[in-house]
Amino acid sequence: MPFLGRSRTGRGRVPAFAVTLACVIVAPGLAGCAAEPDPGTVTVLNSATDTAEHTANQRFFDRCGKPLGLRVEQISVPADQIASKALRMASSDSLTDILELDGSELPQFAQTEGLRPLDAVGVDTSGLSASAKSLGSYDGTQYGIARSVNSLALIYNTELLKDAGIAPPTTWKELRAAARKLTAGDTYGMAFSASPNADGVYQFLPFFWSAGGDEAEIDSGKGEAALQLWKDLVADGSASRSVVNWNQQDVNDQFVAGRAAMMINGPWQVPVLSAQKNVDWAVASIPVPEAGKPAVPPIGGTVMAVPKNDDDPAREKNAGKVLNCLNSEKNQLQWGESVNNVPTRATAAQAYAKQNPKLAAFAELVTTARSRTAKVGTGWPVVGDALAGAFQSVLTGRTSPEQALHRAQQQASAGK
């Protein structure tokens, strides 16, 4: 089937209908079967399947595309399918001009050498916070840019804390005491996600890191205290034993239902929290092992990358221009407010904190937040699984924190 070659310019030799038919019948996924791209459009693969998010995205894309004479088209698939969809598109040479990935997936794509370094397409990444930069880089090169980032904080029920006469805890000791005091009747003092997937791992990291834990050397002995804290919270009865099944959504549901006085969660829950009337809430920084030490939460969010397009470098340049516009201070600030995430330009982040005092804790946390992949790069998925195995086996009483981390290190090195 020579007419199904990789050429993007060989248009018109075969009636489009015949090609489409051939593609549908015999060659789904074969090279050249993608629709011919229009030079005036920039395509984006993202996870904005939610209508409101999709529309909000399109508003920003249009705002940036119009002055450049470009139309921006979104292809949205559920977040957990982005990676496999992008890989399938890559194998048929039909990858979009902009690829929006979860920050933790970026190294695996950067390693394929299929992404263009951002400075090569003229994207300005100066002025981004250090944590945001590390979220989008691999091996010292900037491949992805995040418009906004998120992290985790302690969200608490103001009424319950006031009734109990306690201030939001700042240290682990205070957290344990407060959680115990707040546990009464149907209400647990504390809720967090310890599910054996990305949600649980994300929530474990601020404790693991703040204790001095190291994902590249899991069994260094420093992370044990974090496991012990989680274990204590459950053993005290201050947190439900069901935390091993709860994802971040479940944790929020428990909080909103009044069954948890405090929870660890992220700013993406803010729309749900603001929409309900039963619980008054506020945000505080994540408690740390000892007073005075900074909290080290993980930085999360999506980054936009530009896949290589050797056939048509002009498309890469267009993508770069759109990215520059999306990341102007003004656009970042407005985007951050629309999704309750913190802008990555330091100046925009400051403005954001000022305009959203309720979420200022997040804006502050983001500056000390750490990227999951900065140290272990493409090894992250294996390391994340190993950590999940560790906290799950400790919480269910299968192993001690020490044994759990020892085993996690073995798993992580075996998977490399």
Partner 1 sequence: MTTITSPAPASGAAEAKSAAGRAPLRRGLLRWLFVAPALAYMALFFGYPLVRNIVMSFQHYTPKTYFTGEAPFNGLDNWRAVFANELFTDALWHTALFTVGSLLGQFTIGLTLAVFFSRRFRLSGFVRAVLLLPWLVPMVVSAVVWRRILDQDHGMLNTALHAVGLVPQDGVPWLSSPGVALLSAVLVNIWIGIPFNMVILYGGLQEIPRELYEAASLDGSGPWRTFRSITLPMLRPVITVVLVLGFMSTVKILDLILALTSGGPADSTQTLGTVTYQLSFLQLDFGQGAVVGNVLILISAVFAVLYLRANRADFGKGK
Binding residues (CB under 8 A) for partner 1: these are: 80, 83-84, 87-88, 90-91, 108-109, 111-114, 186, 195-197, 240-245, 259, 381-382, 385, 388-389, 392-393, 395-396, 398, 414-415
Alpha carbons 213 and 277: distance in angstroms, whole number: 39
User: Using an 8 Å Cβ cutoff, are 363 and 349 in contact?
Assistant: yes
Alpha carbons 302 and 149: distance in angstroms, whole number: 7
Q: C-beta of 250: minimal distance to partner 1 in Å?
A: 9
Nearer to partner 1, 210 or 240 (CB): 240
With a CB cutoff of 8 Å and minimum separation 6, the contacts of 151 are 266, 267, 297, 298, 299, 300, 342, 362, 365, 366, 369
User: Using an 8 Å Cβ cutoff, are 302 and 46 in contact?
Assistant: yes
Nearest partner of 322 among 121, 50, 95, judged by Cα:
121
Burial class (CB in 10 A: 0-12, 13-18, 19+), 343: buried
Measured CA distances, 350 to 58, 298, 314, 366 (Å): 26, 19, 35, 11
Q: C-beta of 408: minimal distance to partner 1 in Å?
A: 12
Nearer to partner 1, 326 or 390 (CB): 390
Nearer to partner 1, 224 or 385 (CB): 385
Burial class (CB in 10 A: 0-12, 13-18, 19+), 301: buried
Alpha carbons 267 and 155: distance in angstroms, whole number: 10
Q: C-beta of 356: minimal distance to partner 1 in Å?
A: 33
Nearest partner of 115 among 307, 302, 304, 314, judged by Cα:
307
Q: C-beta of 134: minimal distance to partner 1 in Å?
A: 21
Q: C-beta of 295: minimal distance to partner 1 in Å?
A: 27
Q: C-beta of 285: minimal distance to partner 1 in Å?
A: 28
Nearer to partner 1, 142 or 195 (CB): 195
Nearer to partner 1, 30 or 68 (CB): 30
User: Using an 8 Å Cβ cutoff, are 314 and 9 in contact?
Assistant: no
Nearer to partner 1, 197 or 274 (CB): 197
Nearer to partner 1, 55 or 245 (CB): 245
Q: C-beta of 196: minimal distance to partner 1 in Å?
A: 4
